[in-house]
Structure 1
């Protein structure tokens, strides 16, 4: 039985910390010579950052940023902290929690978690993550659809945690876990008093899960690589998994991104596993059980061990059908979601749009694993604002690129195209389908720069400057060489990198980059024992400290909002307190803490109304009893509504 919250999340964090990249890509290793290593042993001041990145890094300190119009809140280090603290003049209230009704016939959520899987299919899923608010045109700031990812599940989903009977998971439990993944679409509107309420019943409300049929489109639709014993067509897959961050399209659809889908599969054939890049390079388990839930003991399609006498070797290719971008039309509940295979397959954190005035588009994604890469997908066609419906299939053709960050502050987008950058049959890529299916291995071959867990991307609404959070990497400098874009060994606190595409063109193949900030302690900090904090834990933050940047998003005024996902147990991390929502001024680089979440949670997901007077964020996997905060009630991942007391713009 897996029941204890702390043990489960310790195990999950350990899985997240695994490095899978065997490539040894170190094109920048030669720039980090012994002299620069000596510098890292001393101080990581900004002069060092500028020197090591090979380019100028301007860093103007400011007493007060004109963008940050709120007073910060303090850190919260108490182990029993079980609420949300927010800046003065604001309020934050729980709005939509795991188990809340999505469909009109959903039964009430049971605090003892005795709801069955059929009930869970009608209720909010678990572990809220990426989300977006889609306004109705007639009242955009008072009426809309809130679309919310459900990344994975906690043991609290069941009355007594995750159980095994004779070494197997009960099918009813597995079905409930599958039902708690996916997506919720809920209609929301302001009432006569101006308060946001969920609308129920609603013709728009919808739940997607790991049991929802989803169409496969693009270059791999119907391909031999996508066929299994249960789907000889290779055109439809059952479900979506581990939906983390997200994106949107200019034609009004939502993009779910499948992140750590490899946790769910098991291949017991070690010989096959060693030869099958599509399993091994993504870290699918070849041990006694899959990495997290052991679904394979109850649902055969998650046992991907090849079976010689079955079509397509049984379910061996089922993992090929995960790791994609899933497009959903929130305004058409009868529409079938679509997996867009032109985006490539990896553990994708997000799909963030940057669009030029001429309709050319780029979608940025991080591959959230230590030592993995930053990607960009450029659709072949252009968005036509005069005829948005004609754009519906633009995501089925285009070019996938991976980033190389050079030591002089320049960068290159390397095309992952069959026949280019050594992606040939001789090197294991006989077709473009193989390139897209094994995008990680293709990026290895092309010479991409391994990064410190690339996560969310944010694009400045005016300048199109691009920011990416690099959450952490304690293998950096040990298993993975330090490089100019990832310059700290034992990088427990992470950092943020930003770049400008050449000529401001989102489809360009060249860019200029710099390190925006290193997260961590202020210079001169000491630990609880009075000893100086090690140099690799010292950051360059001007303002409120934080660790492990994860979620990033810009509001309409150009404020950069930063959400954190720091491990709170180790002694080295105690001073960072509970996870936070912060705000940064891109020009002055000042950072101010806006909100602190309850103990054990991750702060994730962020969206606003078009006038930026209402904000939603997610409190994922709180540890104690939030949102009840009575120390007894089962904790629930929760979407939180944030408003300003005077009804004004948030952040002003």
Structure 2
């Protein structure tokens, strides 16, 4: 196992710690009978009880609209279980080629990436960052499927960013290393275009090419702009923050901007005042480190803004509020390289995985998000205004005012969106919420009080392009039975493989407050003799996938025909995943529920990020933290997170 793999698994172990301390009384009332039955009958009941109206049936409001012809037009490929597998393979009739890797030039004049990682932080500011994740292709109107901008998130960094890993001097991190790490976060914007031979190329001197990183100035919008809880020593106005961190998935607005989501930002900060930490919800409820150092990188040892310990003499002039300035949706205009990114506080503060937009017939919108931690919640934001095509500047105000909701999934297959609004659902001054700004700052605590359903690590969300049916990946949760109540949306007490849920808003209206939901599939093994015999451990690992098995669904996206693309993120060395092989990209038919394996990545990687050209004849996915030597795959080179271009050999639509 490589140094990079070991580091990634250590990070996963910390990321997967449950932070939610609450078992909501309101939620217990909703699911109590199901929980008792589950405990009486064991896991077998938990799976059987999902049959009929709740499990595996198309939702009445949308099933008739889903294309019923064969959607999956490729032959499935096999799993890859070899410990030295170090390549990307794709279905027959397709090709997959590395397109954009960590260290590749973004800005004109950027130096060539050094194979020994000796590039310094100034070089890194001009080059692709590390750990590619969510991304999107923005077309130019003249040739939409042959010319566009590719925007790619860089979630975090690996020790391989440096020649010999992380270094310390006098109990402090080396300042130049910290600067390089900050420069390798954020996102890259690159112009890409087909050449005269029809091959995709990067445009190296494009004025659109841009790097956004952990030192890029950003504006704060919404109720918390200028709020005392956002003010720091470096920014007494509380309106300008440096950088964005841990950008995992994303979203795209109908007016052509990119929504960057800040996920595990809390691991970059520490608060060493135990008494303050215990009473400061904005730190403790999000898992900011309490102790001598932050969880991973110890940036606070050389950059004071990451030390959120209050100053006893001047508590509001230090950086105790710096963590409050992360966890937001950041809007970036890829077509304006001089624009300032905007952090929208109206959408609430989470460890947010995505910000997926759905627009109704009347222009009402919803922005869906998952909070990617065990036992956290699913949210949606409904703007006060309506989307108006062609009114770009007016539409950009839609993310500044609106209502934030948290989801409650009931065991009868119905659900309700609980408004996180002052004076409703227990969100009152008597319960610790003095105003709407405090609700947005402490969104998790607000959802606790409102009675939202604790979920099995909500990750990516996708909206069906024709029906507006919404799908969410729940990656896994091995602490369900210990720390959160069981229910039919989250039925396994030791959930190592995860599931995908789907729901239909009432009358397919994104702004509705009621919905119907179902379990689309339970990931995991095929049925075995042990599970058929009632073995509780085997039953817990059993899925109900029709087709190719997988674990831990993560990335999720629909194409134009309604094929659902599923990406996975599991430890391919773990015992329970031995039969799954390396992480993979699969495709599902939403109506038949058939799943086929389309692509497999190298050992140790996560498959993540997915985007298409408008004609769906080119696809890009990301190979994050490959464990061996990819993309060189030569047995000796440093591994590099890489964006991979996938095309069909006959030039046709991918997946068809």
Shorter chain as normaliser: what TM range? Answer: over 0.9
1:488-512 CA-to-partner distances (Å, cap 9, x unmatched) read 1100000000000001100000000
- Matched with 1:50 is 51
Task: Give me the whole-angstrom Cα distance separating, in 1, the residues matched to 2:127 and 2:530.
Answer: 47
- Matched with 1:137 is 141
Alignment of 1:573-584 (within 5 A): 573-584=577-588
The CA deviation at 1:345 is 0.2
Alignment of 1:243-258 (within 5 A): 243-258=247-262
The CA deviation at 1:310 is 3.1
Aligned CA-pair RMSD:
1.7
1:229-283 CA-to-partner distances (Å, cap 9, x unmatched) read 1100000000000000000111110000000000100000000000000000000
Change (3 A) 1:420 1:426: same
- Matched with 1:558 is 562
- Matched with 2:523 is 519
Alignment of 1:10-49 (within 5 A): 10-25=9-24, 26-27=27-28, 28-37=30-39, 39-42=41-44, 47-49=48-50
Task: Give me the whole-angstrom Cα distance separating, in 1, the residues matched to 2:625 and 2:529.
Answer: 30
- Matched with 1:410 is 414
Task: Give me the whole-angstrom Cα distance separating, in 2, the residues matched to 1:42 and 1:442.
Answer: 34
1:576 is paired with a residue of what secondary structure? coil
Q: Tell whether the 8 Å contact from 2:35 to 2:486 is kept in structure 1 after alignment.
A: no
User: Which one of 314, 327, 330 corresponds to residue 318 of structure 2?
Assistant: 314
Task: Give me the whole-angstrom Cα distance separating, in 1, the residues matched to 2:202 and 2:433.
Answer: 49
1:504-530 CA-to-partner distances (Å, cap 9, x unmatched) read 100000000010000000001679xxx
- Matched with 2:243 is 239
Q: Tell whether the 8 Å contact from 1:44 to 1:536 is kept in structure 2 after alignment.
A: no
Q: TM-score, normalised by structure 2?
A: 0.95
The CA deviation at 1:393 is 1.3
- Matched with 2:384 is 380
- Matched with 1:106 is 110
My pick for the range that moved more, 178-187 or 473-482, is 473-482
- Matched with 1:647 is 651
Task: Give me the whole-angstrom Cα distance separating, in 1, the residues matched to 2:43 and 2:419.
Answer: 37
Change (3 A) 1:248 1:33: closer
1:346 is paired with a residue of what secondary structure? coil
The CA deviation at 1:164 is 1.4
Q: Tell whether the 8 Å contact from 2:572 to 2:578 is kept in structure 1 after alignment.
A: yes
Q: Tell whether the 8 Å contact from 2:102 to 2:131 is kept in structure 1 after alignment.
A: yes
Task: Give me the whole-angstrom Cα distance separating, in 2, the residues matched to 1:570 and 1:373.
Answer: 27
User: Which one of 50, 63, 80 corresponds to residue 76 of structure 1?
Assistant: 80
- Matched with 1:344 is 348
2:608 is paired with a residue of what secondary structure? strand
Alignment of 1:195-594 (within 5 A): 195-310=199-314, 312-524=316-528, 534-594=538-598
Task: Give me the whole-angstrom Cα distance separating, in 1, the residues matched to 2:550 and 2:573.
Answer: 15
The CA deviation at 1:58 is 2.3
1:575 is paired with a residue of what secondary structure? coil
Task: Give me the whole-angstrom Cα distance separating, in 2, the residues matched to 1:33 and 1:476.
Answer: 12
Q: TM-score, normalised by structure 1?
A: 0.96
Task: Give me the whole-angstrom Cα distance separating, in 2, the residues matched to 1:208 and 1:124.
Answer: 10
Task: Give me the whole-angstrom Cα distance separating, in 2, the residues matched to 1:35 and 1:535.
Answer: 17
Change (3 A) 1:35 1:217: closer
Runs of at least 4 residues off by over 4 Å: none
Change (3 A) 1:494 1:285: same
Task: Give me the whole-angstrom Cα distance separating, in 1, the residues matched to 2:400 and 2:231.
Answer: 19
The CA deviation at 1:483 is 1.2
Q: Tell whether the 8 Å contact from 1:580 to 1:597 is kept in structure 2 after alignment.
A: yes
Q: Tell whether the 8 Å contact from 2:56 to 2:521 is kept in structure 1 after alignment.
A: no
2:168 is paired with a residue of what secondary structure? coil
Task: Give me the whole-angstrom Cα distance separating, in 1, the residues matched to 2:361 and 2:575.
Answer: 49
1:589-617 CA-to-partner distances (Å, cap 9, x unmatched) read 00000000000100000000000000000
The CA deviation at 1:147 is 0.3
Task: Give me the whole-angstrom Cα distance separating, in 1, the residues matched to 2:231 and 2:250.
Answer: 27
Task: Give me the whole-angstrom Cα distance separating, in 1, the residues matched to 2:75 and 2:357.
Answer: 31
Q: Determine whether 1:157 maps to 2:157.
A: no
1:407-426 CA-to-partner distances (Å, cap 9, x unmatched) read 11100000001111111111
The CA deviation at 1:209 is 0.2
1:375-400 CA-to-partner distances (Å, cap 9, x unmatched) read 00001111111323321211100000
Q: Tell whether the 8 Å contact from 1:525 to 1:532 is kept in structure 2 after alignment.
A: no
2:290 is paired with a residue of what secondary structure? coil
Task: Give me the whole-angstrom Cα distance separating, in 2, the residues matched to 1:479 and 1:44.
Answer: 17
- Matched with 2:192 is 188
The CA deviation at 1:50 is 2.0
Gaps of 5+ in 2: 60-67
Task: Give me the whole-angstrom Cα distance separating, in 2, the residues matched to 1:450 and 1:570.
Answer: 26
Gaps of 5+ in 1: none
My pick for the range that moved more, 490-499 or 352-361, is 352-361
Alignment of 1:570-649 (within 5 A): 570-649=574-653
